[in-house]
Amino acid sequence: MSSNGFVELNDAATLEKFLKRSVETPVVLFKHSNTCGISARAHHEMARVKEPVGIITVQRARALSTEIERRFNLPHETPQVLVIRENQVVWHASHGRVRAQEVESAVAENSQQG
């Protein structure tokens, strides 16, 4: 994990390893575009999240981004944040709705379950 709390996810193997934790606790995925101003703002927000954040930079991991869309039946959006619990999306947001406080609230709310 990098010092800012991001865990770089580049392929299906790293995604699987990261998602395994979702059985025990919610995990956060962040799809990021390194060429988009809105995504840059969202990246700044996500750097404030206390939990580890799995980051998928779509320019470097397009196939993984597509796999996430397929697996969770969501349209492609960047920036996009998913909170996953037990391998299911329990909360998501995109574009200007990506806010650290809302992500942490969704994690906390879904930590209570189970």
pLDDT single digits (tens) 72-98: 999 989 999 999 999 999 999 999 999
pLDDT average, residue stretch 45-69: 96
pLDDT at 1: 47
Q: Where are the domains of the chain?
A: 6-109
The reported pTM is 0.93
Domain 6-109 CATH (choose: 3.40.50.2300, 1.20.1440.230, 3.40.30.10, 1.20.120.1200)? 3.40.30.10
Residue 28 has pLDDT above 80, yes or no: yes
Position 3 scores a pLDDT of 46
Over the chain, what is the mean pLDDT? Answer: 93
Nearest partner of 30 among 3, 52, 60, 63, judged by Cα: 52
| N-term to C-term CA, the chain | 27
Helix, strand or coil, per DSSP, at residue 112:
coil
Whether residue 113 is predicted with pLDDT greater than 80 in this model: the reply is no
> How many C-beta neighbours within 10 Å does residue 66 have?
12
DSSP notation for 30-70: EEE-TT-HHHHHHHHHHTT-SS-EEEEETTT-HHHHHHHHH
**What pLDDT sits at residue 4?**
63
What phi, psi does 62 have (nearest 5°)? -60, -40
